[in-house]
Amino acid sequence: MSSRLVGLVTMSALAVVLVGTGSLVAQAPARPAGGGGFRFTQPEPIDWENHDGWTSLFDGKTLANWDGPTDVWHVEDGAIVGGSTDEHPSGTTNIIYKGGEFANFRLRLEMKLEGTGANGGIQYRSRLVAPVERTLPPDASPDMKARFAKEQEIAKMRAKWNMAGYQADYDYANRYTGQLYEQSSDRGIITYRGQVVETEGNGQKKRLMGAVGNIDELKQFIHQDGWNQVEIIADGNTLTHIINGHVMSITLDTDAAKMASSGLIALEIEGGGTLKISHRNIYLKKLP
């Protein structure tokens, strides 16, 4: 367990003790003003509009420092928008931030999904890879073969932007929103919404350490038809996803063979039907 996570656990344990002994705290003599030492004070609410110490990754007007297929991605009303229709499907593709790779950081942005088939996410500590080659079973129907051929054609068109790595998952139905998914990996879903998970060796092994909430109860804090404030904290082995001020998942990735310590940031789009995924106010703060 990382020292930073140990600190969080220790402070959480202290908070439980203090709450559980509320009567003792109430009876403790108040420290005189200006007398030094610590006092029991609550943290101030986060100011989402305060960007002191943060770096803007998007100027709100152009796709400068971003690279993605221009028939999918554009700027609209101060947001990076990806679109897809049945007539002009996006496939699974990304728009990638070209300002460098990042290791330890906090990433903030606002997201909105439109269209019941909308599925997206935020890639981080990710890398460019060739698309995985797929095959059809020999008894595939003509319809399946036609769809497969179309999907393969789109995958070849988008190969330049194909990625593997951590993804803060997001979908319109909010079945997966908030979880940690690893794109183009045999690990797949690593941490479901509501879970605290530690990975171990061999690529597949993981353990449930605890919970940050119920998967269905956390869903109520996600705005299906509006903007959502998303924050990703990548600090050493610890990966935290927060949406609208609620922790959705925490992952302690200690699988030495699979864990990524740094990489690229990108925005993903996929899904069927007519859909649109918008991203705005994208800021990053590096951590030590």
Q: How many CA atoms lie within 13 A of 67 on its CB side?
A: 14
Q: What CA–CA distance (Å, rounded) separates 229 from 223?
A: 10
Is 146 a domain residue? yes
Q: What is the CATH number of the domain that holds 83?
A: 2.60.120.560
Q: What CA–CA distance (Å, rounded) separates 261 from 275?
A: 33
CA 147 from chain center: how many Å?
30
pLDDT in tens, 205-232: 899 999 999 999 999 999 999 999 999 9
Residue with tokens 């003599």: 29
Given a cut of 70, whether residue 136 has pLDDT beyond it is yes
Given a cut of 80, whether residue 130 has pLDDT beyond it is yes
93-97, 199-203, 261-265: range with lowest mean pLDDT? 199-203
Q: What CA–CA distance (Å, rounded) separates 199 from 17?
A: 29
**Nearby residues of 102 by Cβ (< 8 Å), 6 or more positions away:** 124, 125, 234, 262, 263, 264, 265, 284, 286
* Structural domain boundaries, residue 274: 57-286
Is 11 a domain residue? no
Is 48 a domain residue? no
Is 176 a domain residue? yes
Helices (H), 21-163: 22-27, 142-157
Is 214 a domain residue? yes
Q: How many domains does the chain have?
A: 1
What is the structure's pLDDT at 92?
96
Beta-ladder partners of 152: none
One-letter amino acid of 13: A
Is 179 a domain residue? yes
Q: What percent of the chain has pLDDT over 90?
A: 75
Q: What CA–CA distance (Å, rounded) separates 101 from 166?
A: 13
32-46, 75-89, 182-196: range with lowest mean pLDDT? 32-46
More confident residue, 151 or 178: 178
Q: Choose among 167, 151, 82, 153: nearest CA to 117.
A: 82
Confidence of residue 36 (pLDDT cuts 50, 70, 90): low
Given a cut of 70, whether residue 22 has pLDDT beyond it is no
pTM of the model as a whole? 0.85
Give the other-Cβ count within 10 Å of 272's Cβ. 14
